[in-house]
């Protein structure tokens, strides 16, 4: 789950990291009020889960409160990478002397949290890593001790020469690591971390991605979830315990297991079709999950055929078959179903389907080919 | 031979009285795995299916039975602690089936086990089976057959698909192992490749990877340098869009890294037979045996 900038900066502030004043608003009038309170030049920033907000016109400077209101009118409701801007952050425009980058990620290679800094801030860090890797400095943190004071200082010395700035930066780096741990993050970034001409180091932007597996034990973080920023079908799927991602094709897919679900999408493509979604019904086979899955897939008007690919292990074929039959009893499904069932309780599952006038295939390639052909016919 | 488990494996089941734990313990016992103990705090002194003693702690279970492996079915919130408890009880092999472990928990688990030289398989994995010898985890035994192909995979049901394709074509397996779909896991592809290369009952290796990370690329380099047995491989997620997590926490294309195309290219360069689709496994293995 990703947090908005205004939510992430609040967590940084609570941890004692210097962030500029400012507030979030969802109407141009409220933006004007905040700008009046702040006085002077302000920046109005779109709050969406997308990078490149500046390039898309979602970040604007304003000299007066009236101008801030005008910018807010333009930015609120605009679309950035398919996401509608519902809120903007209004903050004072800072005088900037230098821009750096500070971040913490879970690194697959060292299997640890890695703290990264770069004196090249304010730009896409992946680009810095690709073009000038020597300008990125890293420390892999030993989780038993946390980020040590001298490690934070060492990183801060890569950003600044002036000891006063180094100490401020080291403090921010240490606190950022603490927020990383306490929020259950998989990624946290300040980009840019700026120094002002007066010699203050501040976090001008904040990005925080939380490990979904942490949310169960972090209710305060879970409460920050912004449902309006997510695809409604993906929200419903998550609440039903399904893993679902909408795609652009016309073959709806319902599979058990993430690896098999990906391989099924790939096979749809291999036979000349296009998958409409990724959907993993997960390991346990509650028939209700199958009902919800079908409901979510059929909501997508592009879908011309639905393909079930079930290899029973923990998931039992009879449970899936019962789910399909229940779904058909509840709602009329207008697109053809192609069902592949094999594995645990296969015979029972096929019998349940046959009693309802449905048939099932046992081979994955046969099923995918058939679903692709049916989707083409209907399109 | 086979790798990591065989008829000498003496297993403790952590979470033996839970819904999944009890179901799969019965299946493992039925298959012939030596399940010597179970652990559920507060249920010490009970017996599972009237024969397997249940203990409150791993230390007691290992002390009383001489177990050398554990399998974990406890809920995600307790799973990291369960792994560490098993490590402290000094079993040689820990298999964690549980999915949904916070990745920061894994950053604590990994160094704890490394210091004690203990092998972890998973988390978020189906476990492993050496057909005819032992099964630890949840891979359905009915789809496997004894034979000489080793299989290592990051996924669960896709592993079953491949094993099923092999078995129905008359190709048996030495060991099938699912290493898990999380970003931080214990045993990786290279560990399995090394073990299969050294195993005199394995003639060829199937490697099932997916998008995300660079483990497959590193494994390909390892194959080119160290593996003389034929290897065939598959990458799931060829059609996955970047930046979206495809179910598995580890299956995400970040930036331009971790794509299926990049991994398949690494396989080709290393002389690994690349499967375009799961069904290709049979043809590619037959060509190489």
Look at the block and give the residue holding tokens 């604007």: A60
pLDDT tens sequence across B122-181? 999 999 999 999 999 999 999 999 999 999 999 999 999 999 999 999 999 999 999 999
- Residue A56 to residues A2, A45, A81, A206, A228, Cα–Cα distance (Å): 20, 11, 9, 18, 20
3-state helix/strand/coil string of A253-321: EEECCHHHHHHHHHHHHHCCCCECEEEECCCCCCHHHHHHHHHHHHHCCCCCEEEEEEEECCCCHHHHH
Quote the pLDDT of residue A49: 86
Euclidean distance between the first and final Cα of chain B, in Å?
19
pTM: 0.93
pLDDT for B1: 62
Q: What's the rounded Cα separation, in Å, for the pair B166 and B149? A: 9
Q: How many domains, chain A?
A: 3
Judge whether A270 counts as a catalytic residue.
Answer: no
Same domain, A257 and A307: yes
**pLDDT score, position A284:** 64
What does residue B286 show for φ and ψ, rounded to 5 degrees? Answer: -60, -40
Chain B residue nearest residue A284, CA to CA: B20
A316 occurs within a structural domain = yes
Q: How many residues does chain A have?
A: 379
**A28-38 and A65-75 are packed helices; what angle lies between their axes, rounded to 10 degrees?**
150
**Final residue in a domain of this structure, among A205, A222, A239:** A222
- CB-CB under 8 Å, B255 with A313: no
* A223 CB-near residues (< 8 Å, 6+ apart): none
Q: Which of A113, A213, A270 sits opposite B100 (nearest CB)?
A: A213
Q: Quickly name the fold that domain B139-288 has.
A: Rossmann fold (3.40.50)
In this prediction, residue B243 has a pLDDT band, given cuts at 50, 70 and 90, of: confident
Element at B107 (helix H, strand E): helix B103-116
Residue of chain A with shortest Cα separation from B21:
A314
Give pLDDT < 50 ranges for chain A: none
User: What Cα–Cα distance (Å) separates residue B118 from each residue in A303, B17, B87, B223?
Assistant: 49, 25, 7, 24
Q: Does position B119 have pLDDT exceeding 80, yes or no?
A: yes
Query: A247 with A369, same domain?
Result: yes
**At A356, which CATH number?**
3.40.50.261
pLDDT of A285 reads 64
Which of these CATH numbers, 3.40.50.720, 1.10.3720.10, 3.30.479.10, 3.30.1600.10, describes B10-121?
3.40.50.720
Distance from CA of B89 to the nearest CA of A (A): 20
Burial code (b: 16+ CB inside 10 Å, e: under 16) for B245-255 equals bbbbbbbbbee
Instruction: Identify the active-site residue in A120, A189, A346, A369.
Output: A189
Q: What is the CATH number of the domain that holds A43?
A: 3.30.1490.20
Mean pLDDT, to the nearest integer, of B26-48? 96
ipTM: 0.93
Write out the residue range of the structural domain in which residue A325 sits: 231-378
Each domain of chain B, given as residue ranges in start order, spans 10-121, 139-288
Joined together, the tokens standing for residue A128 give 């810095």
A70 and A139 part of one domain = no
> Which residue among B184, B211, B234 sits closest to A108, beta carbon to beta carbon?
B184
Last residue of a domain, one of A222, A243, A260: A222
pLDDT surpasses 80 at B254 = no
Residues A320 and A298 in one domain: yes
């Amino acid at each position: 789950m990703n947090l908005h900038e205004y939510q992430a900066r609040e967590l940084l502030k609570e941890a004692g990291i210097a962030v500029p004043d400012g507030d979030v608003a969802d109407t141009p009038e409220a933006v004007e009020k905040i700008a009046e309170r702040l006085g002077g030049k302000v920046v109005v920033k779109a709050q969406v889960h997308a990078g490149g907000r500046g390039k898309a016109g979602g970040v604007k400077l304003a000299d007066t409160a009236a101008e801030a209101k005008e910018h807010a009118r333009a930015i609120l409701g605009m679309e950035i990478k398919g996401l509608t801007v519902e809120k903007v952050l209004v903050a004072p425009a800072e005088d900037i002397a230098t821009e750096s980058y500070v971040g913490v990620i879970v690194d697959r290679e060292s299997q640890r949290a890695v703290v990264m800094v770069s004196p090249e801030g304010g730009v896409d860090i992946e680009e810095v890593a690709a073009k000038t890797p020597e300008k990125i400095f890293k420390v892999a943190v030993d989780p038993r001790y946390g980020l040590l004071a001298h490690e934070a200082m060492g990183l801060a010395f890569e950003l600044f020469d002036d000891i006063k700035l180094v100490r401020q930066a080291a403090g921010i780096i240490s606190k950022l690591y603490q927020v990383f741990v306490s929020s259950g993050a998989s990624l946290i970034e300040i980009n840019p971390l700026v120094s002002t001409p007066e010699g203050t180091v501040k976090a001008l932007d904040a990005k925080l991605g939380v490990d979904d597996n942490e949310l169960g034990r972090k209710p305060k973080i879970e409460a920050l979830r912004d449902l309006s920023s997510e695809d409604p079908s993906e929200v419903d799927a998550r609440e039903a315990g399904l893993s679902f991602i909408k795609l652009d094709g016309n073959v709806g897919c319902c599979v058990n297991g993430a690896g098999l679900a990906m391989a099924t999408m790939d096979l749809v493509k291999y036979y000349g079709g296009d998958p409409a979604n990724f959907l993993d019904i997960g390991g346990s086979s509650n028939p209700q999950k199958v009902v919800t899955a079908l409901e979510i897939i059929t909501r997508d008007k592009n879908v011309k055929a639905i393909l079930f690919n079930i290899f029973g292990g923990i998931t039992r074929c009879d449970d899936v078959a019962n789910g399909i039959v229940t779904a058909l009893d509840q709602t009329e499904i207008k697109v053809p179903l192609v069902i592949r069932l094999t594995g645990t309780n296969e015979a029972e599952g096929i019998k349940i389907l046959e009693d309802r006038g449905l048939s099932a295939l046992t081979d994955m390639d046969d099923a995918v080919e058939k679903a692709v052909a049916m989707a083409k016919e209907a399109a | 031979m086979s790798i990591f488990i065989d008829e000498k494996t003496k297993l403790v089941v952590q979470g033996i009285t839970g819904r999944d734990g009890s179901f799969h313990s019965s299946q493992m016992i039925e298959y012939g795995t030596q399940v010597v103990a179970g652990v559920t705090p507060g249920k010490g002194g009970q017996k599972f299916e009237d024969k397997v003693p249940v203990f409150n702690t791993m230390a007691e279970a290992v002390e009383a039975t001489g177990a050398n492996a554990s399998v974990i079915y406890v809920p995600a919130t307790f799973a990291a602690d369960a792994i560490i408890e098993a490590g402290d009880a000094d079993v040689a092999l820990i298999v964690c089936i549980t999915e949904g472990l916070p990745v920061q928990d894994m950053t604590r688990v990994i160094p704890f086990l490394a210091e004690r030289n203990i092998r972890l398989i998973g988390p978020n994995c189906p476990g492993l089976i050496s057909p005819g010898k032992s099964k630890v985890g949840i891979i359905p035994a009915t789809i496997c057959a004894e034979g000489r192909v080793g299989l290592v995979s990051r996924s669960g049901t896709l592993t079953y698909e491949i094993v099923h394709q092999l078995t129905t074509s008359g190709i048996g397996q030495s060991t099938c192992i699912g290493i898990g779909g999380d970003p931080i896991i214990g045993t990786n592809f290279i560990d399995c490749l090394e073990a299969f290369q050294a195993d005199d009952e394995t003639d060829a290796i199937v490697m099932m990877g997916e998008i995300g990370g660079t483990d497959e690329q590193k494994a390909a380099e390892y194959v080119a340098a160290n593996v003389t047995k034929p290897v065939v491989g598959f990458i799931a997620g060829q059609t996955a869009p970047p930046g979206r997590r495809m179910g598995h926490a580890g299956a995400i294309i970040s930036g331009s890294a971790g794509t299926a195309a990049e991994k398949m290219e690494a396989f080709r360069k290393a002389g690994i037979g690349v499967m375009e689709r799961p069904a290709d496994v049979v043809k590619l293995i037959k060509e190489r045996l």
